[in-house]
Chain A
Amino acid sequence: MAQGIMRPLRPVWIADAATVVGHEEAAGPLGAYFDLHDPKDDTFGQKTWEKAESEMQRLAVNTLLGRAGWQDGEIERMFAGDLLNQCTGSGYGLLPFGIPYFGLYGACSTCAEGLALGALIGGAYGGRTVTVSSSHNCSAERQFRYPMEYGGQRPPTAQWTVTGSAAFLLTDDARDCKKNAPRIAEVLVGISVDRGITDANNMGAAMAPAALDTVCRYFSESGREPASFDGIFTGDLGAEGSSILREFARAAGIDIADVHEDCGNLIYNAAATDKHAGGSGCGCSAVVLGGYLLDCLRRGEMQDILFIGTGALLSPMSVQQGGSIPGIAHLVRITTKEDAE
């Protein structure tokens, strides 16, 4: 069906994931699920924040390949992206690996976009795929907002860019996987939706219509009920966007409130650490999926989830020119159920 749900031509499993986060994320409610973190100042031993972000990507891929014992030459392709201009976080961070590389930009949806492409291309051509995404609070602040030491207040709808990177190993070979590895059963590519929001401090409201569009398209075509999933995880609408999505979905006849959670709401204790509407950034949904959600799937605590990466496709210049902010939401269904269609 045109523009509809796509299934990989052969099974593609998520064999493993590696996560690298900053000190605040490591101190958050999901801290125990992450592999590596910078305990001190989030510089990861680098001189600039941009280099720190690249280093996080390098560490994530290195940890991933090292743990599996795979060499660069055994990986067919890599999809990676971040928030920096021209995706230099990925460009530099992945230089040490001699792996064919596709650069992606999907703002906070980059993780889901990479998994979707990895599953579809890996499913069509076989072999192993690595997908990576990252964001660093300080490099994102510099590029999209103000200098780090600038003193100002944020409105309650603003979200906090997560310092984190996650790398995922996708494979079509079951022998690469440990017991109970989840697979990507379905992909629904998002359509850009622009409902006229111009406030860069309210990205949840800018992205919620795109998430709604994807949710409606998915349930209308699949004929399933939200309750048939163990969770619908968006990332990252934050508190503001999540409540808008639930409200409009209910109005559209799809009640997701009981199963919906947002990665931006999970990663921090927002009230105690003053993170306003919650986390955001390419790294946010990536580390929540790679650290926490995959762990739940492997342990059997969850068996079937929808992971919906939501991105706000703005740039500092588009905001200065008064442009409205288009959103996008890519859906990936991740399951350990054998018979999931």
Chain B
Amino acid sequence: MNTDSGTYKKYADAHAKKSPLGKDCARAFLVGGAICTLAQGLTALYEWLKIDAENVGALVSVTLIFLTALLTGIGIFDKIAKFAGAGTVVPITGFANAVASPAIDTKGEGFVLGVGAKIFSIAGPVILYGTAAGALYGIIYWVCITLF
């Protein structure tokens, strides 16, 4: 093998079996869509229960987070996610699973050094950069409404 590293890397990338993009997209669309439909159903349910319109959105999110954490805890969520791919990652279910799964996984290392230290090991970047982006957007928004 006299090829240099760059050439071999290109060869290996081209040789690698590709993910079935069409199938993955279709599954993500179906499951992601089903989750959104469920959320819409929950919205209708909470509105029908005469819950304050301001709180319905939060309550729907909390319900989805609870369901995800429950399904993660009983070992079902990862099987659904394996089928759905982005369909479960993109909605709030993906975020909830990313927090619940390390929490379950690190029990063996204790509640401080395990669960406490590692619960945000996957979701951490989303929380940090999400908060930072929110603050930055707030400053831009404030500057804009002050100046114009």
Give residues in A with beta carbon < 8 Å to B. Answer: 47-50, 142, 146-153, 155-157, 194-198, 202, 205, 209, 212-213, 239-240, 243-244, 248, 251-252, 277, 324
- Pick the residue among A149, A157, A205, A243 that contacts B104 (CB under 8 A): A149
B106–A147 touching, CB < 8 Å: yes
B8–A209 touching, CB < 8 Å: yes
Give Cα distance in the complex from A147 to B82, angstroms.
14
- Dominant secondary structure of chain A at its interface with chain B: loop
The number of chain B residues touching the other chain, given as a range, is 35 or more
Task: Let me know if B1 is at the binding interface, CB within 8 A.
Answer: yes
Return chain A residues, CB-CB under 8 Å to B102: 147, 150
Return chain A residues, CB-CB under 8 Å to B106: 147
Give residues in B with beta carbon < 8 Å to A. Answer: 1, 3, 5-6, 8-9, 12, 15-19, 24, 72-73, 75, 77-78, 80-82, 84-85, 88-89, 94, 97-98, 100-102, 104-106, 108, 122
- Pick the residue among A48, A150, A155, A195 that contacts B5 (CB under 8 A): A195
A248–B5 touching, CB < 8 Å: no
A240–B89 touching, CB < 8 Å: no
- Looking at B8, B16, B85, B94, the one whose CB has the most chain A CB atoms below 10 A away is B16
With contacts A149-B72, A151-B94, A155-B19 known, is A197 near B12, CB below 8 A?
A: yes
Give Cα distance in the complex from A211 to B62, angstroms.
52
- Pick the residue among A148, A153, A197, A198 that contacts B82 (CB under 8 A): A153
Report the minimum CB–CB distance from B107 to chain A (whole Å).
Answer: 9
- Looking at A49, A151, A157, the one whose CB has the most chain B CB atoms below 10 A away is A151
Give Cα distance in the complex from A212 to B12, angstroms.
14
A205–B1 touching, CB < 8 Å: no
Give Cα distance in the complex from A150 to B5, angstroms.
33
